[in-house]
């Protein structure tokens, strides 16, 4: 772990990523791609110095409220967060200044901060986007070792929605020959329905192999799924996007389930919803783009 001085804590789109890098060893990880310009070992976590103070200053300067996105590029609830508690302290600042929140995670550690999420949700939007790739805990231990199990994430989703906090599921990644079978897709959708999620995102469902993550993906594939390595070599050796052969069937199943249970699945509508700030105390709405 090392600290890095930065000039700004928020991106132009109000993104907040306190950590860069991760100690988990997921088979597919887009954050390892060289396009993200990480200048250190991925497991050597980069921590933005003075993150809480910088966020306080940035929020004070803003003339209008908006949605703050935490963890869109890097998992915020890595094991290091248990010790440093920087995410929790930043959430306190977001709540203090009445900003909305979109929190991306696949960790049960988010429940530690449910008291602050509650406070934010009472005043404005609090949206938690939970990533899921399988409903099978055993398979998840191979795909995403060290992360919270799918059954635990289901519990996280249930506890959030029971409190009225909006949950959106990011269905990704769906890997050919591994978790693209319809039993898995239906299991994932069952979790979504039972938890009462607001929406399901599918735009990141098909992984994109780039320089930096491609080599490691095939190494992890050979290590964890040697029986299908040759199939990948035969079918996807020259492919950049790992699109499953039953993609159309999967999408049809998702659409049918969402329409039957009132779950939003339109990408543009979900994007609009996560970017639109709402002041629940007076009932007015403003677009994030109106505030930038």
CATH of the domain at 22: 3.20.20.70
Neighbour order of strands in the sheet with 15-16: 15-16, 67-70, 100-105, 126-132, 166-171, 199-201
Instruction: Indicate whether 292 belongs to any domain.
Output: no
Position 211 scores a pLDDT of 84
Strand, coil or helix: 128: strand
Residue 150 token pair: 């799918």
Mean pLDDT across 74-86:
96
209 within some domain? yes
219-238 pLDDT, tens digit each: 999 999 999 999 999 999 88
Q: How confident is the model at residue 148 (pLDDT cuts 50, 70, 90)?
A: very high
Q: Is the pLDDT of residue 290 over 60?
A: no
Per-residue pLDDT of 97-140, as tens digits, reads 999 999 999 999 999 999 999 999 999 999 999 999 999 999 99
| Pairing relationship of beta strands 276-279 and 284-287 according to DSSP bridges | antiparallel
The confidence score (pLDDT) of residue 50 equals 98
Whole-number Å distance between alpha carbons of 68 and 142: 32
Closest CA to 142 of 48, 222, 254: 222
In a domain, 19, yes or no: yes
Q: Answer yes or no: is 283 within a domain.
A: no
d(CA 240, CA 210): 7
pLDDT of residue 287: 47
Distance CA 144, CA 142 (A): 6
pLDDT over 60 (residue 34): no
290 occurs within a structural domain: no
Q: Is residue 288 part of a domain?
A: no
Residue 44 lies in a domain: yes
Contact 124, 164 (CB under 8 A): no
* pLDDT at residue number 237: 85
Q: Is the pTM of this model over 0.85?
A: yes
Q: Does any domain span residue 181?
A: yes
Tally of domains in the chain:
1
Range of the structural domain that residue 30 is part of = 2-278
């Amino acid at each position: 772990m090392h600290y890095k001085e930065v000039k700004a804590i928020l991106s132009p789109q109000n993104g907040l990523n306190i950590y860069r890098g991760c100690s988990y060893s997921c088979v597919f990880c887009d954050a390892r791609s060289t396009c993200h310009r990480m200048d250190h070992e991925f497991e050597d976590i980069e921590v933005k110095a003075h993150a809480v103070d910088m966020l306080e200053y940035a929020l004070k300067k803003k003339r209008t409220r908006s949605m703050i996105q935490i963890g869109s590029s890097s998992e915020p609830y890595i094991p290091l967060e248990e010790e440093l508690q920087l995410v929790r302290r930043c959430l306190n600042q977001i709540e203090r200044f009445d900003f909305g929140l979109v929190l991306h995670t696949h960790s049960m550690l988010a429940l530690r901060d449910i008291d602050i999420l509650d406070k934010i949700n009472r005043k404005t939007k609090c949206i938690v986007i939970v990533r899921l790739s399988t409903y099978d805990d055993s398979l998840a231990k191979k795909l995403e070792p060290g992360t919270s199990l799918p059954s635990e994430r289901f519990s996280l989703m249930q506890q959030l929605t029971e409190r009225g906090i909006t949950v959106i599921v990011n269905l990704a990644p769906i890997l050919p020959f591994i978790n693209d079978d319809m039993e898995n897709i239906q299991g994932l959708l069952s979790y979504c329905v039972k938890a009462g999620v607001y929406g399901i995102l599918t735009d990141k469902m098909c992984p994109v192999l780039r320089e930096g993550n491609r080599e490691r993906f095939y190494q992890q594939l050979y290590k964890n799924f040697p029986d299908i390595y040759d199939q990948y070599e035969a079918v996807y050796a020259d492919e950049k996007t790992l699109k499953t052969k039953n993609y159309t069937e999967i999408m049809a199943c998702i659409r049918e389930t969402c329409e039957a249970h009132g779950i939003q699945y339109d990408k543009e509508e979900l994007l609009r919803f996560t970017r639109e700030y709402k002041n629940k105390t007076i009932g007015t709405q403003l677009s994030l783009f109106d505030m930038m």
